[in-house]
Amino acid sequence: MARVSVVTPDKAVACSLPDGISGQARSTAYLAGPKHPLHLHCHAIAPFDALRVGPHQIDCLAYVWQGSVDVGGHRLTAGSSLIVEHGAALEIAAGEEGAQLLTFTTAVPPQQVRAGGHVHLLPASAVAQVAEMMRGVGGGLHFDSACPTCELWLHESRFSPEFLTPENETRSPHCHTEDEIIFIIQGEARLGNRTIGPGTALAVHALTMYTFNPGPQGLTFLNFRPARPGENRRADGRSSNEADGWERMLGGKRPAYLEPA
């Protein structure tokens, strides 16, 4: 497969519910099957219909893209997220406006499996936020791979039009030391001569150099990793530890997870 795969909403394929998920929803596959190390599906859940995630042998991370869901006695609105670890199960019911739910998993269980068996709920208001990482850039950390029973990672990045300086627009390409999925929530990204908008997913293989810039109205995207991020390596020879950078910017603050009632 290509080292960077771009899947726009019109290219996502209608499918049956993936392994480990049952219930009522219209599902589409962005990234699925053995050729993709990381999987991404989107589930359109009608008002008051429900999905059941788990029990399964692979941890599942879900993000409420649109609408709201009721889970374990809690209401999770758009921008919220949750993890159902392997061996655990959770019913997710859409609210009165329905919901669009993204699910991220690995294609196969990791070689070294943590204990599993738990569910973590993260309301949008409890995401650990960094107001300004640099001029025009903020972000939020959903899951930090620090849990003793699961190791999934999810952060969101927000680029405002202030980021679009000549220096930033020509910055060095970079790569990461693990596979990743990027999903555009709002705004647009310019990838070479191509402009991509909300609902577009990018699958980027580990150690693949790439770069993109926000559009004139800004950009917000999710970034999923199967484990704690390692090095961020730039084509100009500079490098940094990405997870350490998040910890430093957050100053010890962590997302505040809830447990189902």
> pLDDT at position 2, please?
60
What residues of the chain score a pLDDT lower than 50? 1
> pLDDT at position 92, please?
98
Q: Is residue 7 part of a domain?
A: no
Same domain, 150 and 104: no
Q: Is residue 96 part of a domain?
A: yes
Same domain, 45 and 158: no
Structurally, the chain folds into a number of domains equal to 2
Same domain, 246 and 160: yes
Structure tokens at 212: 């993109």
Q: Is residue 155 part of a domain?
A: yes
Q: What pTM was estimated for this model as a whole?
A: 0.97
Tell me: the pLDDT tens digits for 12-26? 999 999 999 999 999
Q: Is residue 5 part of a domain?
A: no
Question: Can you give the CATH number for the domain in which 79 is found?
Answer: 2.60.120.10
How far is CA 37 from each of CA 26, 31, 178, 180, 221, rounded to the nearest angstrom?
A: 23, 9, 10, 9, 20
Same domain, 194 and 92: no
Same domain, 55 and 97: yes
Same domain, 192 and 140: yes
Q: Is residue 8 part of a domain?
A: no
Alpha-carbon distance of 211 to 191, in angstroms, equals 7
Same domain, 63 and 159: no
Q: Is residue 104 part of a domain?
A: yes
Q: Is residue 203 part of a domain?
A: yes
Same domain, 132 and 232: yes
> pLDDT at position 169, please?
76
Same domain, 93 and 206: no
Q: Is residue 255 part of a domain?
A: no
SS3 content of the chain, % helix, strand, coil (to 5): 10, 50, 40
Same domain, 246 and 149: yes
Same domain, 30 and 66: yes
> pLDDT at position 172, please?
85
Domain boundaries, position 59: 13-109+118-124
> pLDDT at position 21, please?
98
Q: Are 116 and 88 in contact (CB under 8 A)?
A: yes
Pairing of strands 74-77, 119-122: unpaired
